[in-house]
Amino acid sequence: MIQIMRNWLNRYFADPQVVILGFLLLFGFVLIFILGNMLMPVFISIVIAYLLEGMVAGLQHLRMPRMAAVLLVFIFFIACIVVSLIVLLPMLSGQIGDLLQKMPSMIEKGQELLMSLPERYPDYISKQELKDFVDSLSTELTGLVKSKLTKLVQSVFSFTLDSVRSIITILVYLILVPLMIFFFLKDKEKILKWLTGFLPENRGLASEVFEEVNRQTGNYVRGKLWEILIVWGVTYVVFKLLTLDFTMLLSLFVGLSVIVPYIGATVMFFPTAMIAYFQWGWGSEFAYVMIALAIIQALDGNLLVPLLLSGVVNLHPVAIILAILLFGGLWGIWGLFFAIPLATLVHALIKAWFNKRMEAKYYGSD
């Protein structure tokens, strides 16, 4: 058994470049898992600086000095944050408050719809079965709402050390994250040079893999951000013209749903259909909203995605869904957003390892 393991290690890990690449990946994953909570502001700053680097590089291509490009992009980023906090956040909070106020009437209307089902389909469901189901569902929802309200009231009226810690955390994020973003953009070359000084010289395979992943990830993340903004804006305009309630809230989630390919677009049909039904019932307005959403999703998948994400490695839909489930379960919303880049990393590793094996086999046979 020991000899079998030794032969397997010699076959696949005899190349020092493969060992170096594996060590770097293992170190990165362990660092995220162990120090993820403490270094979260650093990780967020790195991600945002990476996204803004594309704009800085674009301005540099127009022969603008890097320092001037960094200042211009950083000012634009801060302006977007301020506008979002002043304009977007109050609008979203207002629509969430309106939704909570209308929730009881929506639930009542939903119960009326459910109670009418036995008359329409008497062969499939009886009134007693439906009544038992509605009663049990109402009891569970009432208990859930009461428990959530109790926790909310307790958290509001209990000004404990955790509350102070949360306020300090928010202040740290508001001050520290923009500061680190600026320095990551300004001193990018110095930081990369300092980090590569700790790496071994024989790292050709690692450099090859990370260059490909960097190119693919840059194409994907920046293209996905533009896709979110375009889908969000178009959906907001269309829903506003159709006078649908909670336009900003629904359009925002429709835009964010493109983060999760296939699944997000399907899921967003349900809340949109519920809001449209509770506003108009079964009618032409309801049909217009659902048709408009279907057209937006079709144009996004067949026109916008190929246009914005043409440089991304084409992954099989099954691989995309597996990546979403795996990395979303590990890292939540960040895992969902970076599921495809991480899957691209795995794809690049397999490809580089296979090429290395074929190269070693070819030269070995010679």
- Per the CB < 8 A criterion, the answer to whether 276 and 255 are in contact is no
User: pLDDT-based confidence at 143, cuts 50/70/90?
Assistant: low
72 has a pLDDT exceeding 70: yes
Q: What is the pLDDT of residue 157?
A: 47
Lowest mean pLDDT segment, chosen from 17-21, 43-47, 342-346: 17-21
Binned at pLDDT 50, 70 and 90, residue 58 comes out as confident
The pLDDT tens digits of the residues spanning 124-134 come to 666 666 666 66
Q: What is the pLDDT of residue 189?
A: 84
Sign of the alpha-carbon torsion through 219, 220, 225, 228? positive
Spatial contact of 174 and 78, defined as CB atoms under 8 Å apart = no
pLDDT exceeds cutoff 70 at 47: yes
CB-CB contact of 7 with 13 (8 Å): no
pLDDT at res. 86? 85
How confident is residue 94, by pLDDT bands cut at 50, 70 and 90?
confident
pLDDT recorded at residue 156: 47
Kindly list the domain boundaries of the chain, sorted by start residue.
108-143, 203-366
Distance CA 277, CA 30 (A): 48
Range with the poorest average pLDDT among 113-122, 246-255, 312-321, 354-363:
354-363
The answer to whether residue 146 scores a pLDDT higher than 60 is no
Mean pLDDT of the chain: 75
Distance separating alpha carbons of residues 213 and 204, to the nearest angstrom: 14
What's residue 160's pLDDT? 44
Higher pLDDT, 1 or 182: 182
**Residue 159 and residue 167: Cα distance in Å, rounded?**
11
Q: Which of 307, 310, 292, 309 is nearest to 234 (CA)?
A: 292
Question: In the numeric block, which tokens belong to residue 137?
Answer: 């569902």
The letter for the amino acid at 38 is M
Say how far apart CA 75 and CA 58 lie, in whole Å: 16
Identify the pLDDT of residue 14.
53
| Residue 159: per-residue pLDDT | 45
Mean local confidence (pLDDT), 341-355: 70
A 10 A CB-CB count for 245 gives 16
The residue whose two tokens read 């046979």 is 365
Tell me what pLDDT residue 74 has.
92
| Amino acid 305: pLDDT | 78
Percent of the chain with pLDDT over 90: 10
pLDDT in tens, 160-211: 445 556 666 777 777 888 889 999 988 888 888 887 776 666 666 666 667 7
Please, which pLDDT band fits residue 324 given cuts at 50, 70 and 90? confident
Q: Is the pLDDT of residue 75 over 90?
A: yes
Residue type, 16: P
The structure's pTM equals 0.69
